[in-house]
Amino acid sequence: MSKPKDKDGKNTGTTRRDFLRKAGYAGAAALAGSATLMANTDNPDSQATWAEWFQGNYRLMTDQEKKEAIERLEKRYSAQYGKKVTVDDAPAIDGVLFGYALNIQKCIGCRRCVKACVKENNQSRTNTEIEWIRVIRMEKGQFSLEDMDKGYPAEAGFDHGVQVGGNAYKPAGVVLEGQHYYQPKKVPEKDAFYFPIACMQCEKPPCVKVCPVRTTYRDPDGIVVIDYNWCIGCRMCIGACPYWARRFNWGEPNLPKEEMNPKTHYLGNRPRMKGVAEKCTFCIQRSRRGRYTACVEVCPVGARKFGNLLDPESEVRRILARKRVFRLKADLNTYPKFFYFID
Amino acid sequence: MKTIRYASVVFSTAVFLIMSAGAVYADNTDTRKVIECYESRQEGSPVTRRDIEPGWPNVKCSSTSEGVLWWGDPFDGTIPMGDMPIEADYSRGEAVVRPRIPYIDRNKLYTICTEACHNGQYVPVPESKKPRLLKMHKDIVPNSLDLQHGRGGIWCLDCHNAENRATLVDNFGGEISFNQPQKLCGKCHGPIYRDWRDGIHGKRIGMWDKAGKKRWWVCTECHNPHDVQQGDRNSGFAQLPPEMAPELPKGMPNVDHERLEHGAGH
């Protein structure tokens, strides 16, 4: 076996055997590292991580295991972010099914809901910026009836016979790329309307159907949640969601210490790790403690309404009874708990 | 030789780390702490950021639009809503509002204007409510013959109390506090008022449960009563600066990339 040579013809000194021997050393070192993790060190990070790696699916954990998992996380986050971080595990409240209503006639597209959500829910701020809400800008007349027949792509060489609705220059009922990147000086613009989308908290969520490890599931109060620790990062849910609601942590989330919201929920806004999916949870850490979600509170025009769908006197139920309401992509039979309405 | 190579690797890694840390710091726009911001309408609902407890502010302000983005305490600076004429949602639970008088009195002129000027002698009580050209108050209504509210159907004294300028006026000549403008606006805007009472119109923060404590937004916190038509826009709500657009995905140079580079149909 000749020794590998670099471009100058000199021996680089690395053979397969050398490599394997070094790999062996590395493996031994890794084992030693694990031993350090298990040992009683003062570093909360190393202690928590070891047990965290081997914890079970949140839904299958006993109460004791949940308690331990939460204590581990609180310890780790508190050390990591330099403040007292609490991790809530409040379960769904009996007799509550959360529902959301949004007045698209009122929305001015100011994106304050988007940023409020980021402040509340500890999303990655930069370098993969993650925002759970998208506000899509649409031109008035985009959905006019006469355009619905003009669906064929312009300058297409042959007729695919595919009806797509509108075309690239005058889309009809089609959301094109870049429609949520608008940046005028002031909103609302003339002849535009705005359409915020986020997780619709479906009754039959496609994301839950496809999750191969069942780490995302729908709780009895209607919130579709994710146990981030059990997520394997396969991104099937992102592909399955018809509402563009899920985001993926492609890198290590970038959450500055001073920006971090220390009141968190295990299934909600606790800091995420690299390689997990995340999405709107109706601010589970707030809503299960009775508080309005962050986006409802921040909306300067009061277009966002939130409440209990099982209570006939709640705001959302009154809107369903009194206003003209629709759900996005109702034809998909996902039964969203997010309603759009107009006065 | 080897040492040099390792050293250079270590050095470049260090440089890269420092540079990326710097980039992160530069990208983080929220490092600029905004102290004075507004809640719903610009120049109409100001709020000052302060810490309720260490590290827990009453509000977080946006460094882009200077609007409030987050409430640490939804009931900060509120008072009970007070008596309302009709039993409705605000009758249950605790309904609180942020008083409007401190805002109206921000230049400390509220008492002076109402007691020293409009005392019936210095400025006499007008005999009729008929519109006339005003020399004063041009900061609030630039042209008093072109009031941007009611399309010529109403004028100052349909809302302001001629006898007591510290108050608004109801249908019977009675007084309405500036802290309860909904009683005044409901005189004309009946269906909106009904929706507001039921929590469909307008904004409330606090607890979502119907029995829970809520801060109710009153009319003038979102609408400017002296310019409610907004000229040609014909809308009750003034325009606002928006927050920043999301970052473009990596490798996407501009928002129209697909269409410009890859033709129609994309």
Q: Which candidate from B27, B198, B242 shows the least CB-CB separation from A109?
A: B242
A77 shares its domain with A177: no
pLDDT value of position A155 = 54
Asked if residue A12 is part of any domain, the answer here is no
Residues A226-245 have pLDDT tens digits of: 999 999 999 999 999 999 99
pLDDT value of position A324 = 96
- Please count the residue pairs, one from chain A and one from chain B, whose beta carbons lie less than 8 angstroms apart: 168
pLDDT value of position A254 = 93
Residue B163 near chain A (CB below 8 Å):
no
Asked if residue A23 is part of any domain, the answer here is no
ipTM of the shown complex: 0.84
Residue A269 near chain B (CB below 8 Å):
no
Residue A108 near chain B (CB below 8 Å):
yes
Q: Which candidate from A180, A183, A290 shows the least CB-CB separation from B207?
A: A290
Asked if residue A213 is part of any domain, the answer here is yes
Looking at the 3D structure of chain A, how many domains does it have?
A: 2
Mean pLDDT of all residues belonging to chain A? 84
Q: How confident is the model at residue B4 (pLDDT cuts 50, 70, 90)?
A: very low
Interface touch B39/A109, C-beta < 8 Å: no
Interface-testing mutation among B24, B70, B214, B219, with chain A (most A C-beta atoms within 10 A)? B70
Mean pLDDT of all residues belonging to chain B? 85
Percent of chain B scored above 70 by pLDDT?
85
pLDDT value of position A121 = 97
Residues B128-145 have pLDDT tens digits of: 889 999 998 999 999 999
The domain spanning residue A302 has which CATH number?
3.30.70.20
Interface touch A302/B203, C-beta < 8 Å: yes
pLDDT value of position A177 = 63
Q: Which candidate from B195, B239, B245 shows the least CB-CB separation from A183?
A: B245
Burial A153-171 (b: 16+ CB within 10 A, else e): beeeeeeeeeebebbbeeb
Interface touch A291/B74, C-beta < 8 Å: yes
Distance from the Cα of B152 to chain A's closest Cα (Å) equals 25
Looking at the 3D structure of chain B, how many domains does it have?
A: 2
Residues A234-278 have pLDDT tens digits of: 999 999 999 999 999 999 999 999 999 999 999 999 999 999 999
B112 shares its domain with B64: no
Interface touch B60/A256, C-beta < 8 Å: no
B51 shares its domain with B148: no
B223 shares its domain with B112: yes
Angstrom distance (rounded) from CA A219 to CA A199 = 14
Q: How confident is the model at residue B198 (pLDDT cuts 50, 70, 90)?
A: very high
Residues B63-85 have pLDDT tens digits of: 999 999 999 999 999 999 999 98
The stretches in chain A having pLDDT less than 50 are 1-10, 12, 28-40, 159, 161, 163-165, 167-169, 171-173
Q: How confident is the model at residue B234 (pLDDT cuts 50, 70, 90)?
A: confident
B92 shares its domain with B223: yes
- For residue B39, the enclosing domain spans 30-73
- For residue A167, the enclosing domain spans 141-190
B107 shares its domain with B208: yes
Distance from the Cα of A200 to chain B's closest Cα (Å) equals 18
